[in-house]
Amino acid sequence: MIESRVAQPVPDYVPAHGLLTGRRVVVTAAAGAGIGAAAARRCLEEGAALVVLGDTHAGRLESSAAELGAEFGAERVRWAVCDVTVEDQIEALLDLAEDAGGVDVMINNAGLGGTVSILEMTDDQWSKVLDVTLTGTFRSVRAASRRMVRNDVKGVIINNASVIGWRAQEGQAHYAAAKAGVMALTRSVALDVAPYGIRVNAVSPSLAMHPFLAKVTSDELLEQLTSREAFGRAAEPWEIANVMVFLASGYSSYMTGEVVSVSSQQA
């Protein structure tokens, strides 16, 4: 039995190949340094004409947008505070893409976790995680799909799930249920919108390290989760974003209703 693994080095950052040239992309939970922020950056690097950032943290969001705008051009970056539990805010976020011709790619990254035993979990804790992580994804998928159909855009929707939707983890009943729901939602709505040429897929990361995760997770748990990874390290957020870009691009043109595991985690 292998008790520990030597961490493999992080690979070189993958250069852009123009996979999203001219596309208009909307990303939720895109502020800061997590997966959403990495996805927004990667989309701009891959040639997106516009990336619209949404997040609940106004200050961090404005800072992220300013940084990306300075690097890639202010005309290519827009932002709005967006809480995915509020439908009007989702619609306002999509309006920013609509003003530029419509949304081609919707990346639904917003989610909420937490660790609590089912023995202690309250209705409020359960409902809050489900409302953000599952119902928020539903609201965002519905809003983006309706606009794509209305504008005759053969767009792409990408949802962020988690390996916890497949595998048990102590204290994660609410989050696991929500992420399993995101997977099922992805598979079902893909069939609803396939006649319109719209594709819906999801990524399912195991462990991607970023400052927010480090802040809300104990060192002991992070060490335990990392020990399960075949490479002996967590993923970089951009490694998850790379798969999102693949799913948003023409390279995945025959994929819909799929949940792609982005993980080196052992079963």
Return the half-sphere exposure (C-beta side, CA atoms, 13 A cut-off) of residue 163.
17
260 near 204, Cβ under 8 Å? Answer: yes
In terms of Cα–Cα distance, which of 155, 68, 63, 67 is closest to 103?
155
Location of structure tokens 């619209």: 52
Q: What is the distance between the alpha carbons of residues 15 and 42, in angstroms, rounded to a whole number?
A: 10
Please state the φ and ψ torsions of residue 58, each to the nearest 5 degrees: -60, -45
Give the chain's length.
Answer: 267
Q: What's the farthest any 2 CA atoms get from each other in the chain?
A: 57
Q: What is the distance between the alpha carbons of residues 232 and 201, in angstroms, rounded to a whole number?
A: 27
DSSP alpha helices (H): ranges in 136-195?
Answer: 136-150, 173-193
3-state SS of 202-256?
A: EEEECCECCHHHHHHCCHHHHHHHHHCECCCCCECHHHHHHHHHHHHCHHHCCCC
192 near 174, Cβ under 8 Å? Answer: no
- Give how far Cα 134 sits from Cα of 49, 53, 196, Å: 29, 20, 24
Which of these is catalytic: 175, 196, 251, 254? 175
Q: Is 175 a catalytic residue?
A: yes
Active site residues: 175
